[in-house]
Amino acid sequence: MRFDWLLRESGNIANLFLWHVGLSVIPVIAALILSLPLGWLAHKSGLFKSAILGVAGLLYTIPSLALFVLLPLVLHTKILDPLNVVVALTVYSLALLVRTVSDGLGAVPPDTLQAATAMGYRSFQRFFLVELPIAVPVIAAGLRVALVSNVSIVSVAALIGTPQLGLLFTQGLQLRFVTPLIAGIVLCLLLAVVLDCLVILLNRWLTPWRPRKV
């Protein structure tokens, strides 16, 4: 382990870390926004549920490297454009979160929905004020999986030259130098743990009525 190399390359490593954070988090935010209406539609409509969840499942089976290479042809972007990675990871995150949102909304007790309707809540109000808050724990579990998965998948984009921590892996392998490899692994693990903890804290903040473990 060469600590002098880490000190010398600290600025570059910090820049790659920030890129990794952005490429991991932005797709999940975009996918969450898209998954709410799609998950609601899948939950409400038996006709569309199988189709939506089926397509989502198929999208998740596409190899990440193949998608990174294919998207520039579809989006007319350059192969090194980070937009390709953002779109690809949005697709993967959406595939996960659509089912999660649908399952979360399906877990809302029917008695609760009936009570909300009896109190005069309209469909729009009931969704945002009753169904969605109750579904938060299930959705948060999906967010945790999506974020941790993205932290890992982003590294694959190093093979096409996109700036992020995965470049430390390719650099270490090419130079047969273990320090970049260890630095990349540690920072990826640290990022995954931090993002996971942030979602846990957000879930607790959004659901203050739920009992806490001692």
Average pLDDT over residues 176-198: 95
Average pLDDT over residues 29-53: 89
Residues in the chain, how many?
214
Contact 13, 3 (CB under 8 A): no
Burial zone of 170 (CB within 10 Å; 0-12 exposed, 13-18 middle, 19+ buried): middle
Q: What whole-number percentage of the chain has pLDDT above 90? A: 62
Gap between the Cα atoms of 76 and 84, Å rounded: 10
Give residue-wise pLDDT tens across range 85-120.
999 999 999 999 999 999 999 989 989 989 988 988
Q: How far is CA 146 from the centre of its chain?
A: 3
- Whether 160 has a pLDDT exceeding 90, the answer reads no
Average pLDDT over residues 150-170: 91
Contact 137, 131 (CB under 8 A): no
Q: pTM value?
A: 0.91
